Amino acid sequence: MNQQPVVFLDRDGTLNVEVGYIRNLDDLVLIDGAADAVRKLNEAGVATILVTNQTGAARGYYPESHILALNARLLKLLAAGGARLDDVYYCPHFEDGIVAPFSCLCQCRKPSVGMVDQAYADHPQLDSTRSFVIGDKATDIELAKNCGAKGVLVTTGYGTAVLKGEYQWPVEPDYQASSIVEAVEWILEQVQLN
């Protein structure tokens, strides 16, 4: 049954251009080639699952409904490029937030594996032995280690700063890619080897 390889995708800095907290929907813009890359995964039968930390509601920057609206815009932009995400998970929690009920410790904030575990529960066909995480932060690479996936660090978003040791902490990704485009090329090679 566990037959479908899966890629867990970060959102900001991986699929869309990193611009900090996105208050205006129009400011969510896809990274060049992102829709094509996701479509290639779709066509190869690889599941695409969004896993994103979104603390903007917990910090009081905007309501939770805005997180949903941003994710909906992302799906719309991807669909315009013929691409789809098979599911979307977000963690709205932040321990040091100011807005209840989001200001708490949780099991889903990356690098914790709560969103990945939920995806495996919701989609029993996913093959955890052929799983990948693509992201621009050390948090994403640590998520990969924590859930037994291969971690691909993209140097869009915060990726370059992570590699220089200027953001978060040093990590050793399984692969380093200039963007999601190259990340997906590498993943498709790995999937076809197995």
Which residues participate in catalysis according to the annotation? 10, 12
Size of the site for Zn ion (CB under 5 A): 5
H or E element at residue 39? helix 34-43
Residue 72's binding partner among Mg ion, Zn ion, none (Cβ under 5 to 8 angstroms by kind) is: none
Q: Smallest Cα–Cα separation from 41: which of 138, 184, 167, 178?
A: 184
Residue 93's binding partner among Zn ion, Mg ion, none (Cβ under 5 to 8 angstroms by kind) is: Zn ion
Residue 91's binding partner among Zn ion, Mg ion, none (Cβ under 5 to 8 angstroms by kind) is: Zn ion
The greatest distance separating any two alpha carbons of the chain, rounded to the nearest whole angstrom, comes to 47
Question: Under a CB-based contact definition with an 8 Å cutoff, are residues 135 and 115 in contact?
Answer: no
- Region from 82-90, 92-100, 122-130, 143-151 binding Zn ion, contact rule CB under 5 A: 92-100
CA 103, CA 41: separation in Å to the nearest integer?
A: 35
Question: Under a CB-based contact definition with an 8 Å cutoff, are residues 194 and 130 in contact?
Answer: yes
DSSP state of 100: T
CA 164, CA 154: separation in Å to the nearest integer?
A: 13
Neighbours of 102 (CB within 10 A): 21
Q: How far is the CB of 146 from Zn ion (least distance, A)?
A: 14
Convert residues 1-30 into a mask of x (bound to Mg ion by CB under 5 A) and - (unbound).
---------x-xx-----------------
Interface positions, 104-133, toward Zn ion (CB under 5 A):
106, 108-109
Q: How far is the CB of 147 from Zn ion (least distance, A)?
A: 15
Is there binding between residue 142 and Mg ion (CB under 5 A)? no
For Zn ion, which is the closer residue by CB, 3 or 65? 65
What is the binding site for Zn ion (CB under 5 A)?
Answer: 91, 93, 106, 108-109
